[in-house]
Amino acid sequence: MNIEEIRKDFPILKRKINGKQLIYFDNSATTQKPVQVINAIKNFYETYNANIHRGIHTLSQEASEMYEDAHKKVADFIGANDMQEIIFVRNTTEAINLVMYSYAMENLEKGDEILTTIMEHHSNLVPWQYVEQKKGIKLKIADIKDDGTLDLDQFKQMINEKTKIIAITHISNVLGTINDIKKIRKMKKDAILLVDGAQSVPHMLVNVKKMNCDFLIFSAHKMLGPTGIGVLYGKKELLEKMKPFLYGGDMISKVEQHKSTFAILPWKFEAGTSNIVGGIGLATAIDYLNKIGMQNVRDHEKELVKYFLEKLEDRNTIIYGPKDPEIKGGCISFNIKGFNYHDIASLLDKSGIAIRSGHHCAQPLLKRLGTTGTCRASFYIYNTKEEIDKFFDILNKIRG
């Protein structure tokens, strides 16, 4: 990876904040966009803009083909069988809600169980709380060990014949913990396995066949793509049995006055006018990542994490989650004794450094860790060791 050449593709990195060169370490929240993605979006609106699946004129046909090709590109990227297993939604949260409404609410009965973990983002917890309240199922939440890794022994003990859904994050957005999905899959093969890949798909090789997950969800904006579009992968045999999540235009095959039949996959789950340009932007982002190589992306982040952690070690600094880069994604959460996490983020911002502070949409986990929030630095393909050095020049002055 030629990081300096990569950085030239990201216009926002030239910006100055408070007179200082921007250092962007908030990539777990959203990533910046390369000119290739920006230009693809601009080019669509200037050259191809039309609604899809609704016209025989040239623009509509071209737009439809580009949008369908985007589904194919996503399918190839994660190792799915074909584009029929790829549903475009607004974001990760909507993808989980689709599974919750169209699968869990339709198939689970009182007494059934859903197993998740304490390290989940709210988007992979709150929907299951709703199922618990409405259907009378039991929601079970597995704990973590002191090092921030999942307690797999406890997790396995919590699985029984009543476990119908296992919903788990691939990489924690707070701890950076990488969960062993293959090992979890083997614990109960007949349970539906939903994997939150929001923090993994952008950062490492992910193959749905090798994981043998039933559903995988992720968002475009965390992998160089635009906001407003996410992905639900689902095994075809499951998706075909599920009822639509939204009803109306473009998800139908035939409509009569009192009944309708629905379109084939994936369109059955994509009602109304889609985020066409979002899909095209995501496809362009995948092209960009494929050119770099996902193994190179992962190796670069491991190197940055190792370098950052070595500098972060200090008697006044609390580090949350694993410290081994081999089992940790590209985010690091920490607190400095005697300082509020928001104050640290504010002081860093004065020097042009963007990090995240707060509960990171994971309040149960933060409570388990004994804090109300943390600072979080998270990296991506355009970050460098030189930026980390500048970060610690400022942080060391703060922590004394």
CA 104 from centre of chain: 21
Beta strands 113-117 and 138-142, pairing class: parallel
CA 386 from centre of chain: 27
Closest CA to 39 of 261, 248, 384, 285: 285
The CA angle 363-366-372, to the nearest 5 degrees, is 85
Residue the block writes with tokens 């297993």: 85
Question: Looking at residue 55, what is its pLDDT?
Answer: 86
Residue 333 pLDDT more than 80?
yes
Q: Which residues pair with 86 in a beta bridge?
A: 233
Tell me how far apart the alpha carbons of residues 246 and 136 are, in angstroms, rounded to a whole number. Answer: 24
Residue the block writes with tokens 């250092």: 23
Closest CA to 328 of 312, 306, 359, 310: 306
* Phi, psi for 109 (deg, rounded to 5): -125, 165
Average predicted confidence (pLDDT) for the chain: 97
**Domains of the chain, each with CATH number or no CATH:** 3-25+293-399 (3.90.1150.10), 39-291 (3.40.640.10)
CA 280 from centre of chain: 18
- Could you tell me the pTM of the whole model? 0.97
Question: Looking at residue 188, what is its pLDDT?
Answer: 85
Which tokens hold the place of 60? 């509509």
Closest CA to 6 of 43, 44, 32, 42: 32
Residue spans of alpha helices (H) in 104-258: 105-107, 126-135, 152-157, 181-187, 208-211, 236-241
Tell me how far apart the alpha carbons of residues 296 and 301 are, in angstroms, rounded to a whole number. Answer: 9
The CA angle 281-285-289, to the nearest 5 degrees, is 170
**pLDDT classification of 314: cutoffs 50, 70, 90:** confident
Burial class (CB in 10 A: 0-12, 13-18, 19+), 294: middle
Asked if 60 contacts 217 with a C-beta cutoff of 8 angstroms, the reply is no
Question: Looking at residue 399, what is its pLDDT?
Answer: 80
Question: Looking at residue 336, what is its pLDDT?
Answer: 96
Respond yes or no on whether the N-terminal peptide bond of residue 266 is cis (omega within 30° of 0).
yes
Helix (H) or strand (E) holding 168: strand 163-169
- Give catalytic residues, as residue numbers: 361
Give the mean model confidence (pLDDT) for residues 71-96.
Answer: 98
Beta strands 374-378 and 192-196, pairing class: unpaired
Question: Looking at residue 1, what is its pLDDT?
Answer: 84
Question: Looking at residue 398, what is its pLDDT?
Answer: 87
3 state DSSP class of 104: helix
Asked if 95 contacts 217 with a C-beta cutoff of 8 angstroms, the reply is yes
Helix (H) or strand (E) holding 139: strand 138-142
% the chain with pLDDT above 70: 100
Burial class (CB in 10 A: 0-12, 13-18, 19+), 122: middle
Residue 131 pLDDT more than 90?
yes
Residue 85 pLDDT more than 80?
yes
Tell me how far apart the alpha carbons of residues 131 and 128 are, in angstroms, rounded to a whole number. Answer: 5
Q: Which amino acid, residue 226? A: P
Give the mean model confidence (pLDDT) for residues 84-90.
Answer: 98
% the chain with pLDDT above 90: 96
Tell me how far apart the alpha carbons of residues 325 and 171 are, in angstroms, rounded to a whole number. Answer: 12
Question: Looking at residue 182, what is its pLDDT?
Answer: 95
Residue 303 pLDDT more than 80?
yes
Which tokens hold the place of 206? 């992910």
Tell me how far apart the alpha carbons of residues 119 and 168 are, in angstroms, rounded to a whole number. Answer: 9
Residues 148-164 have pLDDT tens digits of: 999 999 999 999 999 99
Q: Which residues contact 176 (CB under 8 A, 6 or more apart)?
A: 148, 305, 321, 322, 328, 329, 330, 331, 332, 333
Tell me how far apart the alpha carbons of residues 269 and 272 are, in angstroms, rounded to a whole number. Answer: 10
Residue the block writes with tokens 């973590």: 144
Residue 400 pLDDT more than 80?
no
Residue the block writes with tokens 């059934």: 112
Tell me how far apart the alpha carbons of residues 330 and 344 are, in angstroms, rounded to a whole number. Answer: 20
Residues 88-125 have pLDDT tens digits of: 999 999 999 999 999 999 999 999 999 999 999 999 99
Give the mean model confidence (pLDDT) for residues 263-280.
Answer: 96
